[in-house]
């Protein structure tokens, strides 16, 4: 009696169930008892007596059986566990090895997965950081942004609020727990490295305590300590310029010649309304700036469960009351209250939506592609699996075998995807696709554990849905049947149709993406190439801010402006130079402007107001449409004149000649300024904004008064430099320093840079979708190719017969190509239908293009069909080279 092969215990298959174990033990013990009984019989006992004696001699039979079974079962469980671990290891190693042996296809598939997972990670990170993240202030759901309701035809949703209204709210609003305001400010800071311009803010009310963001160092200032001239630094400023020193409290700061004392440093992430976070220093609003007319951004905290709409009404009433009291001529149209969350979403919405849509579609296409690949692999290996099953592998074992392969695949893809995602985030930060006004900085978008978790779960879920499940379904077969038939031959009808369906879906998605890409690209081009109203070539711009302390009067400012222009015009290479208070495509102040002959009580007349040098229109090459531009005759003590733009003329002076009509710059004053000309519209605020009605005032003629500081203190210089002999920055700074050594110049940009900055968002969106569309196209082409190749393989017998019966190779070629194009055709139709269905939401992202433009749709469709035809060439070619006899015989 020899034991047979040496079976390693851990690999024993099949597993023994408890019943098996108990049976074995019973058999063994019964054998023992039987042998003992036999011996006893030999010694003379009767069979029955022998049996009971044997039982007695054994001892406690029950107990033994019990303890042996228990021990054996435990051993069995341990074995199974080890075997499971070992099997996991084995399958994983095997999966790796097979990938290693045939890397080509695997690399493609893993790359595709990695790219799509990476893209999803980037998008999720952006959405999380910019929209979903909880604002780091106390009870953020109760904090709102308050503004004046803008004129009904304006494109923006809220305007700044008058200080008088803010004070009224502070005093009497019952639905608010606190309200504060801030205004942007630029300061000349006499720092350790000399004077420089820094951006900051001035605050009215207890802004920082209201928000409840915890200070990094020190404390916030309240209204109570404004007399002591406190200043609060932003976190970035403190880190970059002061190396995050903790002894910064108590330091003195010279801003515009006034000495402030640092009392605190803001936290790194204040979560304040997006416009806020680029400011380096914060001071209380100076006494000289606290005029009722001053305009501020307002933030408030709602009391209890107050609803924004109700609060808006109360605030509107209080505002009206104050305006009545003060005899303000033009009343605000009402109050708008928006939650911070809404504001946040509105600002970054379109770009994020695009990114999200693109990433999702890419992921879908990638997953379906890799998924069909997995299914194909499984189908090839059905025979092997069937053999395993008949050798006794339990279904769990097979399932694990199939799943392990897929999961290895997807895990590699997912891990690479995470790495790519991190790189992608770095790239997005470098590109800065959002306008500086929309978000503080992309630093708040970080790469952290949650992101990794998200990526892992995405990979796992998609891996299971698209990799494991289909592979399992593909591998469910009857062992005997499959072993009998040859190789990985025919596939069932249903799975075939499934794969066709997937390919059609991929083509549809690609078509939709391609169409969107074309539309977005057209939008982007339209945006950048529209009539800007000025000639952006050969234009150089830069800005100066004249501080109130050094330039207390308009006369003083005018003196500077004249000297500056004289100096700049004398520079070599300058054809023309002028100043304005608002650069093209930049921000512009908007205010109510009474127009002669118009009753503005129901429909307020408003316009953007700009103070420009007399040479301005000539320098930027804005066409004069009617009348004239400013001339040398428009001097300070001459007749006060103004120029308006086309939109103003059309909107407020329709039906009569604009030239000669009168308007005024402030709501209280009667229209006394004579319009002498109408100029071409120039875009302000952004390329996608409509033209605003605008009024131009000659800089020479700005009268002293409140509007003077508003219009006269910002000097943006535009220079026409035709021969690329632009003066260097150093030269410009020297010229400015010669006039005022404490005045830094900021933001030198060429005309084309101004245009590009404005188009950044749209261009980024177009670029992203175009990339995704290209990838999707490639993937669908691959998918189509795969399906057709399989199709040809399956029908090789049929084709062989046809050829034998006289069909030419050409006919068969055409047939296969035809199939390919037909499949693609169905997909294209579905894709176009999807675009039509989503046209309305798509429209929001487009400029100057309708979503249903036939050229774009047609172009995309044609592209897809051409790609499909190309993809069909390969398989079709193979049909042509079929040897009919081989094909028929081969099974």
Partner 1 sequence: MVVERRDSRLIQGTVDLLILKTLTRGPQHGYGVSAWIRERTRGEFGLDDAALYQALHRLERRHLIESDWGVSENNRRAKFYEITRAGRRRLSKDSSTWHRYARAVLAVLDMG
Name which of 326, 333, 286, 294 is nearest 162 in CA terms: 294
State the number of binding residues for partner 1 (CB under 8 A): 28
Q: Work out whether 42 is an interface residue with partner 1 (CB under 8 A).
A: no
Sign of CA dihedral 609, 613, 615, 620: negative
One of 36, 317, 331, 650 touching partner 1 (CB under 8 A): 36
Write out the E strands in 192-257: 194-204, 217-218, 230-233, 252-255
* 706 C-beta neighbours (distance < 10 Å), count: 12
Among 64, 259, 531, 850, binds partner 1 (CB under 8 A): 64
68 near partner 1, rule: CB under 8 A: yes
Position 59 contacts partner 1 (CB under 8 A): yes
Q: Does position 19 bind partner 1 by CB under 8 A?
A: no
| Cβ partners under 8 Å of residue 730, min gap 6 | none
Tell me the two tokens of residue 541. Answer: 């711009």
Is 243 a binder of partner 1 (CB under 8 A)? no
Interaction mask 72-111, partner 1, x per CB under 8 A: x--x------------------------------------
* Nearer to partner 1 among residue 55 and residue 837 (C-beta): 55
What gap in Å lies between CA 729 and CA 735, rounded to an integer? Answer: 10
Q: Does 171 bind partner 1 (CB under 8 A)?
A: no
* Per CB under 8 A, 52 contacts partner 1: no
Q: Which range in 29-37, 304-312, 579-587, 638-646 contacts partner 1 by CB under 8 A?
A: 29-37
* CB nearer to partner 1: pick between 8 and 601: 8
Answer for the pair 382, 488: CB distance below 8 angstroms, yes or no.
yes
Nearer to partner 1, 75 or 489 (CB): 75
Q: Are 217 and 250 in contact (CB under 8 A)?
A: no
In whole angstroms, the minimum distance from the beta carbon of 87 to partner 1 comes to 21
In sequence order, which residues have a C-beta less than 8 Å from that of residue 59 and are 6 or more positions away?
A: none
15 makes contact with partner 1 (CB under 8 A): no
Does 139 help bind partner 1 (rule: CB under 8 A)?
no
Integer Rg of the chain from CA? 39
Give whole-number Cα distances, 128 to 136, 442, 444, 672, 768, in Å: 14, 12, 10, 54, 19
Which part of the chain contacts partner 1 (CB under 8 A), choosing from 52-60, 247-255, 427-435, 863-871? 52-60
Contact 646, 607 (CB under 8 A): no
Residue 9 contacts partner 1 per CB under 8 A: yes
Q: How far apart are CB 390 and partner 1 at their closest, in Å?
A: 23
Helix (H, G, I), strand (E, B) or coil at 515: helix
41 binds partner 1 (CB under 8 A): no
| 24 touching partner 1, by CB under 8 A | yes
The smaller minimum CB distance to partner 1, of residues 2 and 97, is found at 2
Report DSSP letters for 367-393, one per residue: HHHHHHHHHHHHHHTHHHHHHHHHTT-
Distance of CA 300 to the CA centre of its chain: 28
Q: Tell me the closest approach of the beta carbon of residue 18 to partner 1, in angstroms.
A: 16
Distance CA 838, CA 339 (A): 28
Q: Give the separation between CA 463 and CA 408, rounded to whole angstroms.
A: 10
Stretch that binds partner 1, among 59-67, 217-225, 647-655, 744-752 (CB under 8 A): 59-67
The stretch among 56-64, 351-359, 735-743, 749-757 that binds partner 1 (CB under 8 A) is 56-64
Out of 11, 48, 71, 752, the only residue in the binding site for partner 1 (CB under 8 A) is 71
CB of 17 vs partner 1, minimal distance in Å: 17
Phi/psi of residue 63, nearest 5 degrees = -60, -40
- Cβ closer to partner 1: 2 or 493? 2
Interaction of residue 29 with partner 1, rule CB under 8 A:
yes
Q: Is the dihedral of CA 492, 496, 499, 505 positive or negative?
A: negative
Q: How far is the CB of 86 from partner 1 (least distance, A)?
A: 16
- Check binding of 4 to partner 1 (CB under 8 A): yes
- Closest distance of CB 45 from partner 1, Å: 17
Shortest Å, Cβ 2 to partner 1? 7
CB of 25 to partner 1, least distance (A): 8
Contact predicate 112/779, CB 8 Å: yes
Among 276, 251, 272, which residue's Cα sits nearest to residue 263?
A: 251
DSSP result, 95-156: HHHHHHHSHHHHHHHHHHHHHHHHHHHHHHHHHIIIIISPPSSSSGGGEEEEEEPPPTT-SS
Residue 60 makes contact with partner 1 by CB under 8 A:
yes
Given 26, 27, 293, 443, the residue binding partner 1 (CB under 8 A): 27
Instruction: Look at residues 393, 394, 385 and name the one whose alpha carbon lies nearest to residue 473.
Output: 385
Nearest to 809 by CA among 891, 887, 876: 876
Q: Which is nearer to partner 1, 71 or 886 (CB)?
A: 71
Task: Return the residue of 12, 18, 26, 31 that touches partner 1, per CB under 8 A.
Answer: 31
Under rule CB under 8 A, residue 1 binds partner 1: yes
Closest approach, Cβ 19 to partner 1, in A, equals: 16
Please say whether the beta carbons of 702 and 661 come within 8 A: no
632 lies in the site for partner 1, by CB under 8 A = no
From the list 22-30, 348-356, 622-630, 633-641, the region that binds partner 1 by CB under 8 A is 22-30
Window contacting partner 1 (CB under 8 A); options: 4-12, 153-161, 505-513, 722-730:
4-12
Please give the residue ranges that form the binding site for partner 1 (CB under 8 A): 1-4, 6, 9, 24, 27-29, 31-32, 34-36, 39, 57-61, 63-64, 67-68, 71-72, 75
């Amino acid at each position: 009696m020899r034991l047979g092969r040496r079976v390693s215990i851990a690999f024993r298959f099949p597993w023994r169930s408890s019943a098996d174990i108990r049976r074995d033990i019973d058999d063994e013990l019964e054998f023992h008892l039987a042998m003992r009984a036999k011996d006893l019989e030999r010694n003379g006992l009767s069979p029955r007596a022998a049996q009971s004696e044997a039982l007695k001699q054994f001892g406690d039979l029950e107990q033994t059986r019990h303890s042996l079974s228990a021990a054996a079962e435990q051993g069995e469980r341990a074995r199974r566990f080890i075997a499971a671990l070992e099997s996991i290891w084995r399958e994983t190693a095997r999966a790796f090895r097979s990938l290693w042996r045939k890397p080509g296809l695997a690399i493609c598939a893993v790359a595709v997965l990695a790219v799509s997972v990476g893209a999803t990670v980037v998008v999720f990170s952006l959405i999380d950081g910019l929209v979903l993240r909880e604002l780091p202030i106390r009870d953020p759901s109760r904090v709102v942004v308050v503004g004046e309701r803008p004129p009904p035809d304006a494109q923006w949703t809220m305007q700044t609020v008058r200080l008088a209204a803010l004070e009224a709210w502070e005093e009497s609003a019952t639905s608010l727990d606190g309200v504060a305001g801030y205004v942007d400010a630029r300061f000349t800071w006499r720092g350790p490295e000399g004077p420089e311009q820094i951006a900051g803010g001035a605050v009215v009310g207890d802004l920082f305590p209201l928000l409840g963001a915890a200070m990094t160092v020190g404390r916030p200032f309240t209204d109570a300590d404004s007399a002591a001239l406190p200043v609060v630094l932003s976190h970035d400023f403190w880190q970059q310029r002061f190396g995050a020193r903790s002894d910064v409290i108590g330091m003195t700061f010279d801003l515009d010649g006034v000495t402030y004392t640092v009392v605190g440093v803001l936290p790194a992430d204040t979560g304040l309304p997006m416009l806020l976070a680029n400011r380096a220093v914060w001071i209380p609003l100076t006494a000289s700036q606290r005029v009722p007319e001053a305009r501020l951004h307002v933030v408030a905290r709602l009391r209890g469960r107050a609803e924004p709409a109700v609060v808006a009404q109360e605030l509107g009433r209080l505002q009206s009351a104050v305006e009545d009291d003060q005899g303000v001529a033009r009343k605000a149209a009402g109050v708008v209250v928006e939650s911070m969350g809404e504001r946040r979403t509105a600002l970054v919405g379109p770009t994020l939506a695009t990114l999200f849509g693109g990433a999702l579609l890419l992921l879908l296409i990638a997953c379906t592609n890799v998924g069909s690949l997995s299914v194909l692999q499984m189908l090839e290996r059905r025979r092997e699996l069937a053999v395993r099953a008949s050798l006794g592998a339990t279904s769990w074992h097979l399932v694990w075998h199939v799943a392990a392969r897929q999961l290895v695949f997807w895990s590699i893809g997912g891990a690479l995807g995470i790495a790519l995602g991190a790189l992608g985030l770095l790239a997005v930060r470098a590109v800065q696709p959002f306008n500086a006004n929309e978000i503080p900085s992309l630093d708040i978008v970080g790469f952290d554990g949650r992101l990794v978790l998200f990526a892992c779960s995405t990979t796992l879920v998609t891996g299971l849905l698209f990799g494991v499940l289909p592979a399992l379904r593909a591998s469910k077969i009857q062992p005997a049947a499959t072993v009998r038939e040859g190789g990985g031959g025919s596939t069932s009808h249903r799975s075939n149709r499934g794969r066709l369906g997937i390919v059609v879906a991929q083509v549809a998605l690609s078509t939709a993406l391609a169409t969107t890409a074309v539309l977005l690209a057209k939008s982007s081009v339209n945006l950048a190439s529209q009539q800007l109203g000025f000639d952006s070539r050969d234009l150089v711009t830069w800005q100066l801010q004249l501080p109130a302390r050094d330039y207390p009067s308009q006369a003083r400012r005018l003196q500077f402006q004249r000297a500056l222009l004289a100096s700049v015009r004398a520079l070599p290479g300058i054809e023309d130079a002028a100043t304005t208070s608002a650069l093209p495509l930049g921000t512009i102040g908007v205010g109510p402007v009474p127009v002669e002959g118009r009753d503005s009580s129901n429909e307020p007349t408003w316009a953007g107001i700009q103070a420009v040098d007399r040479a301005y229109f000539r320098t930027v090459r804005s066409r004069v449409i009617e009348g004239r531009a400013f001339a040398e005759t428009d001097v300070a003590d001459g007749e006060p004149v103004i120029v308006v733009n086309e939109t103003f003329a059309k909107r407020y002076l329709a039906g009569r000649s604009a030239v000669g009509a009168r308007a005024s710059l402030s709501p209280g004053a009667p229209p006394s300024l004579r319009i002498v000309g109408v100029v071409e519209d120039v875009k302000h605020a952004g390329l996608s904004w409509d033209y605003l009605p605008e009024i131009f005032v000659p800089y020479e003629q700005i009268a002293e008064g409140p509007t003077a500081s508003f219009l006269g203190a910002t000097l943006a210089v535009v220079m026409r430099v035709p021969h690329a002999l632009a003066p260097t920055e150093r030269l410009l700074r020297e010229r400015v320093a010669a006039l005022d050594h404490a005045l830094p110049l900021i933001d030198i940009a060429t005309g084309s840079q101004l245009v590009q900055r404005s188009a950044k968002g749209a261009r980024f969106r177009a670029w992203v979708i175009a990339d995704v569309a290209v990838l999707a196209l490639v993937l669908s082409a691959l998918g189509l190719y795969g399906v057709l190749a399989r199709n040809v393989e399956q029908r090789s017998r049929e084709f062989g017969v046809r050829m034998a019966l006289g069909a030419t190779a050409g006919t068969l070629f055409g047939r296969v190509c035809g199939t390919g194009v037909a499949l693609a055709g169905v997909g294209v139709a579905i894709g176009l239908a999807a675009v039509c269905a989503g046209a309305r939401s798509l429209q929001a992202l487009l400029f100057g293009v309708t979503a249903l433009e036939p050229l774009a749709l047609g172009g995309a469709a044609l592209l897809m069909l051409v790609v499909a035809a190309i993809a069909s060439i390969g398989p079709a070619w193979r049909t042509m080279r079929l040897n009919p006899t081989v094909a028929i015989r081969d099974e």
